Amino acid sequence: MSEPETGVEQREPDYRFTLANERTFLAWIRTALGLLAGGVAVDQLAASVANGSARIAVSLTCIGLSIALTSGAYSRWRSIQRAMRRDRSLPSFGLIRILATGTIVIAVLAGSAIVFS
């Protein structure tokens, strides 16, 4: 699944590692789908709890984080596959920091919307 490079020896990794990498990718996708559903749900169902601008801010933050996780998950899956095929160290992972920060932002926005509505 990765592009062959001239002069770089590649081998097929143990299938268990490939499948574990795929399961991790799918877990990130499930998280992104949950955030996407949450963003839509907040917009559609929280009209009685929060004013329009706060509701939209929470919804768009959820949806934006969902997009970031989806693209980051694919990049992460691909880079791990490439590292395993080349028998190299696994790359560092910044997506966890993005998810943690985004979750804090969503919590603060949602809490503020509830307190100030």
Residue-range domain boundaries for the chain? 15-115
Q: Is the pLDDT of residue 5 over 90?
A: no
80-101 pLDDT per residue, tens: 999 999 999 999 888 899 999 9
Long-range contacts of 39-46 (CB under 8 A, 24+ apart): 39/63, 39/66, 42/110, 46/113
- 68-79: pLDDT as tens digits: 999 999 999 999
pLDDT of the residue at 50: 65
Mean pLDDT of 41-46: 88
Q: Quick one: pLDDT at residue 7?
A: 61
80 close to 21: Cβ distance less than 8 angstroms: yes
pLDDT (0 to 100) of residue 112: 87
**DSSP line for 27-82:** HHHHHHHHHHHHHHHHHHH-TTTS-HHHHHHHHHHHHHHHHHHHHHHHHHHHHHHH
Name the 3-class secondary structure at 24.
Answer: helix
- pTM above 0.75? yes
pLDDT at residue 46, rounded to an integer? 80
Name residue, tokens 């996780």. Answer: 69
